[in-house]
Chain A
Amino acid sequence: MSEASIDHEDLSEATRRVILSGRLDMLGSEAITLKLASLTAAASRRVILDLREVTFLASIGIRDIIGNAKAVERRGGKLVLLVGDNDQVAKTLEATGISTIVPTYTTEREALDSAVA
C-alpha cells in the first residue's frame, strides 16, 4: 500500500514542481493538504502539480487540487497538472471534468511551457 506523500522541486525562482504520490483518499489527503497549500502559497507562483505517482485519486484529492488551483490563480499565478502515462488518474480527472478547467499535460515539457506562458 502506498501512503500519500508530497515533495517539491524549484525549477526556477517562480516555478515549482510539487510532486504528489500514493493514495489520495481521505487519509492521504489529510496527510498532504496543509503542506500542499503552503508549497503553492507564494504569490504569482507557477505550479506544476505532478500526479504521475498518484495511485488512487478520490474526490477529496480532486477538491484539494481545485482549491489550490483557484488560490494560485487568485494570487496571479497558474497551476497545471502533469499526469504522464498515469491513465487511471487521467481518466478520473476527465470523468470529473477537471482536466478541462485545470490545464492537464502528459509531458514535463508541455506542463512547463504552459505554466510559464
Chain B
Amino acid sequence: MNVDAQCFLGELSIRGDAKEVRRSSLWLEEICQGRGVPADQTMRLSLCLNEALANVISHGGPTALDAPIHLQLSLEEAGERGRVAVLSIVDAGAPFDPEVRGPTHAPSSLMEAEPGGLGLRMIRTFSDELLYQRDGDRNRLTIIVRWSQSE
C-alpha cells in the first residue's frame, strides 16, 4: 500500500539583502541534498527562490525590506507518483501577483533584450505551479515543483 506523507522540512527568516538571499539558497540546497532531492530539481527550486526574493527586494518597496521574509519548505512523498516540493515565501512588500504581471516574452534580438521580466520568466519556466495570495499586508507566493521517481 502506498502511503502519502507530507514532510515539513524547515523554515527560515531572512532580511531582504544579497547576502541573505545567498544564505537562503544554501539553506534550501542543503536541505534538498539531505533529503535525496535530485540535483536538477534542487536547482529548479533554488532558482525560483532566488528570483522570487530578487523580485521582493527590487519591487517590494521599503516595507519589503523593513520586515523579515519568511520561507518554508516541505516535501510530499507520493509513492510511485513521485515527489512534490512546496516552497512558501511570505514578505511584507507591496502587492505583487505574478499572474497579474502578464506573460513575459523572450526577446527576438540582442538589441531588443530588456533587463525586466527575466526573473519572472525563470520562475514560470522552472516551477510547475505558482499560487499567490495577499494575506492582510503580506504577499504569500507558493512555488510548487514536481518530479517523478525516474527524474
| Total A-B pairs, Cβ < 8 A | 72
Measured CB to CB, the closest approach of chain A to B43, in angstroms, equals 5
In the assembled complex, which residues on chain A have CB atoms less than 8 Å from the CB atom of B119?
Answer: 58-59
Q: Chain A's interface: helix, strand, loop or mixed, by majority?
A: helix
Q: How many residues of A contact B (CB 8 A)?
A: 27
Q: Look across to chain B and name the residue whose beta carbon is closest to the beta carbon of A1.
A: B26
A26, B111: Cβ atoms closer than 8 Å: no
Give A23 to B47 CA distance when docked, in angstroms.
11
A70, B106: Cβ atoms closer than 8 Å: no
Mark B104-144 against chain A: 1 for CB-CB distance below 8 A, else 0: 01111111010100110110011000000000000000000
Measured CB to CB, the closest approach of chain A to B29, in angstroms, equals 9
Q: Look across to chain B and name the residue whose beta carbon is closest to the beta carbon of A72.
A: B110
Give A100 to B106 CA distance when docked, in angstroms.
9
Q: B74 an interface residue at 8 Å Cβ cutoff?
A: no
Near B by CB (< 8 A), chain A positions 48-94 give: 56, 58-60, 62-63, 66-67, 69-70, 73, 87-88, 92
B118, A63: Cβ atoms closer than 8 Å: yes
Q: B151 an interface residue at 8 Å Cβ cutoff?
A: no
In the assembled complex, which residues on chain A have CB atoms less than 8 Å from the CB atom of B115?
Answer: 63, 66-67
Can you name 19 extra interface pairs (CB under 8 A) apart from A25-B50, A27-B21?
Answer: A25-B21, A27-B18, A27-B22, A56-B46, A59-B118, A59-B119, A66-B110, A66-B113, A73-B110, A88-B43, A95-B122, A95-B125, A97-B105, A97-B106, A97-B121, A101-B107, A101-B108, A101-B109, A101-B113
